[in-house]
Structure 1
Amino acid sequence: MFKKGSVKATQKPKVKNDLRISGYTDGDYFISIDSKDFFGKAVSSPSGKYLIAAHKKDLVVVDHRKNELVYEYTFKGNLSSFDLLITDDLYYIVIDISNSQELVNEFFCFGPNGKPVIKKKVNANVQSFGISEDRRYVCCQNANNSDHPDGGSLLLFDTKTNELLHRWTPETGWADYYTFDTRDKNIILHYDDKGQYRYTFSGELVDKEQWDQTRLGTLNGYQLINIAEEKINSLESSSNNQLQLSDYQPVIELLAAAVEKDISSYQKAIAYRRLGEIYHTFNDNINALENLKRAIENNPKIGVMRMISKLEKEIDE
């Protein structure tokens, strides 16, 4: 079922007399098996039918109502007892974190027969994950790793074909949880503090207008300026030689929002200078001059006096 040395599984083991499930007033359960020196906090399926728990390299899946083991596994590395998910129809997700210091995890999604429908080495630490209601699609979203494309990205898998469908870095950042619209092939990223945003299975942000409005309101001025600079660099490095002022409208909105935030005078001067340069590029001299003057008001050494003098002469003419 697995490559040698990867993970060993004993399917449908006999009931162990020393299996104990302990419940606590806060709703948590703990599973202990003395013969295996196993003790771990359990994650419950939505109805409470199944429990799953990890201890070091060992994983157990338990039928809570029958108080018996369903599956038990030994992985090659330690497991994260917090990174577990199990459904009422016995799909479950497990993260092997044996090489977390080297930013390598293994992502597993098992099916009801105890065999993996997805097994993927991920060159980053897995941060969160989800599964569709029909169990056809599974995703995981990773922490940063600047040395590999997996870093900061969301990976979407098809459990029927056992393949990676797409990998992208969501513009909206790391989600708290995920739902799926399998009819329209969309995945929805949910956030506790900034709403929810829909992406196509190919990684296109469907709710872009909503996100742009949210981002303007939630990010600080420094973050807005950084995003604006990234967009400017992307526009200037593109092969499009017919750029219009409208192409820079998202940049203008970001910079205009940034100067309204609590940022230093120096950063405000930079933002206003950028706005002035954009307007000047497209011959909007009135707006260019207005923003350059605001730049120098915030920092007299921002280096725009010559451009201001030139624009004043052109406007007077």
Structure 2
Amino acid sequence: MGWFDALKNLLSGNGAGDVRPGSQIRANVSTSAPVSAVVAAAEPKRVDAETNSPVMDNHIFRLGDYVGIHSSSPNGRWVLSWSDSVPAMGIGGHRESGNGSYLLYDAEAGQVVVRGEMPRPNGGHVADSGHFSLEDWHFGSALSGTFSVFEPNGQILFAKDVTANVMNSEISRNGLFALFQTANSPTEDGRKLFLIDVSKRAIRYAIDPLAGWPERYSIDEDTAQVTAHLKDLGSFRYDSEGAFIDAAKLAQAKLSSPRYEFAIPAAEALLKSPDLTAETARQVLDIVKRARERGADQIDAWNAKSLKLQGLAYEALGELHKAVKAFDEALALDPKIGVKRKRDALFKKLG
């Protein structure tokens, strides 16, 4: 289901679960004109509080003929809404043409203060200051996007075109900083976390997001620290220069996680340590045992990986018979699991 169809269903009472704040209902996107060339801020337009006040239902914003998704500033004064669709053309989401639209509403004054267009507006955020950010997912099917930060009057403060999909973004409470994250891409813009100093209109850093793909980010304006909030794992910080300062905390959270998708890769990382000890190998065995009990055994790929790690841990402990047995079970599930030569070498060593 496309974004436009999902939005229509939501407004008609059907399929309400298909549209969520920050939803990523999209296809790959391609390069379009820079956002500065396509965004047109309008003069502030006063809204009659009696006849044209907006209706905000769940995450939908309606004002006259306009319908879009919205987000609000922390203080509740500002409402930013965007629509990745062209109702007059009956299209939305992935497409080759037809600009989407956005608006900024001042709830305190009861008026729309900015109206604008861009190819595919998404992922909006607005600060207490009225500064706001938008992701442009571009037309077409190649990998690209634009992230832009605006003043409360709709003028562009910062815009960055990237050769990767924009998949996450945020603006700080008072609009001093903004950030966005890109998805994987074969270009240098792929898998990057960008922090923007809005007052300087400059990128502070662009780094590999070692915390992975969080549900959301937050930004501390006093320290310029960025926090990645990961579902079922916790919150993990980057310092003001982009160094990931909670790597050990994240590793421990994954090892302790009841979700085998986190625990098994974390256990594998432990086994690759150059300082592997017998205590660590036994810890890996405990982690993998719990992961298998919590569902990894039900999926062949995860079960095979678990057995492989058990074999490696037993090998590190010198328990070669157990190692060969675990490798045999892993190979039975996945002949390409990558332990055939090791298994044969250990079997030969056992005589």
Alignment of 1:42-53 (within 5 A): 42-53=70-81
Q: Measure the CA separation in 2 of the matches of 1:123 and 1:249.
A: 45
Match of 2:136 among 90, 96, 100: 96
1:195 aligns with 2:226: no
1:43-62 Cα offsets, whole Å, 9 max, x none, are: 33233322222233222212
Q: How far apart are 1:94 and its partner, in Å?
A: 1.0
Match of 2:291 among 261, 271, 275: 261
Match of 1:205 among 222, 240, 244: 244
Aligned residue number for residue 151 of structure 1: 190
User: Which amino acid counterpart does residue 54 of structure 1 have in structure 2?
Assistant: W
Q: Relative contact order (alpha carbons < 8 A, sep ≥ 6): 1 or 2 greater?
A: 2
1:271 aligns with 2:309: yes
Shift in alpha-carbon separation, 1:17–1:134, aligned structure 2, 3 A: closer
Q: How far apart are 1:130 and its partner, in Å?
A: 1.7
Q: Secondary structure at the match of 1:95?
A: strand
Q: How far apart are 1:208 and its partner, in Å?
A: 2.2
Match of 1:12 among 43, 47, 57: 43
User: Which amino acid counterpart does residue 160 of structure 1 have in structure 2?
Assistant: S
Q: Secondary structure at the match of 2:235?
A: strand
Aligned residue number for residue 79 of structure 1: 121
1:160 aligns with 2:205: no
Q: How far apart are 1:226 and its partner, in Å?
A: 4.9
Alignment of 1:282-293 (within 5 A): 287=317, 289-290=318-319, 292-293=320-321
Contact 1:224 1:254 in 2 (8 A): no
1:178-228 Cα offsets, whole Å, 9 max, x none, are: 222344442111234221111123332222222112111337557655566
Contact 2:236 2:250 in 1 (8 A): yes
Contact 1:42 1:51 in 2 (8 A): yes
1:21 aligns with 2:53: yes
Q: How far apart are 1:268 and its partner, in Å?
A: 4.3
Aligned residue number for residue 294 of structure 1: 322
Q: Measure the CA separation in 2 of the matches of 1:4 and 1:299.
A: 54
Q: Measure the CA separation in 2 of the matches of 1:222 and 1:307.
A: 34
State TM-score, norm by structure 2: 0.66
Shift in alpha-carbon separation, 1:199–1:183, aligned structure 2, 3 A: same
| Deviating more after overlay: 38-47 vs 121-130 | 38-47
Q: Measure the CA separation in 2 of the matches of 1:227 and 1:189.
A: 18
Q: Secondary structure at the match of 1:84?
A: strand
User: Which amino acid counterpart does residue 252 of structure 2 have in structure 1?
Assistant: Q
Q: Measure the CA separation in 1 of the matches of 2:68 and 2:223.
A: 39
1:138-187 Cα offsets, whole Å, 9 max, x none, are: 11123x32412433332111112222222223333222222223444421
Contact 1:222 1:258 in 2 (8 A): no
Q: Measure the CA separation in 2 of the matches of 1:251 and 1:152.
A: 32
1:61 aligns with 2:104: yes
Q: Secondary structure at the match of 1:148?
A: coil
1:174 aligns with 2:213: yes
User: Which amino acid counterpart does residue 50 of structure 1 have in structure 2?
Assistant: W
Q: How far apart are 1:297 and its partner, in Å?
A: 2.8
Contact 1:189 1:197 in 2 (8 A): yes
Q: Measure the CA separation in 2 of the matches of 1:209 and 1:93.
A: 32
Query: Highest CA radius of gyration, 1 or 2?
Result: 1
1:114 aligns with 2:154: yes
Q: How far apart are 1:39 and its partner, in Å?
A: 3.0
User: Which amino acid counterpart does residue 234 of structure 2 have in structure 1?
Assistant: G
1:125 aligns with 2:165: yes
Q: Secondary structure at the match of 1:99?
A: coil
Q: Secondary structure at the match of 2:130?
A: coil
Q: How far apart are 1:274 and its partner, in Å?
A: 2.9
Contact 1:177 1:191 in 2 (8 A): yes
Shift in alpha-carbon separation, 1:197–1:266, aligned structure 2, 3 A: closer
Q: Measure the CA separation in 1 of the matches of 2:284 and 2:163.
A: 33
Q: Identify unmatched segments of 5+ residues in structure 2.
A: 1-32, 86-99, 298-302, 332-342
Q: Secondary structure at the match of 2:138?
A: strand
Contact 1:225 1:255 in 2 (8 A): no
Contact 1:180 1:187 in 2 (8 A): yes
Shift in alpha-carbon separation, 1:256–1:168, aligned structure 2, 3 A: farther
1:8-62 Cα offsets, whole Å, 9 max, x none, are: 4234334366983332565854223x5xxx3324333233322222233222212
State TM-score, norm by structure 1: 0.72
Q: Measure the CA separation in 1 of the matches of 2:41 and 2:305.
A: 61
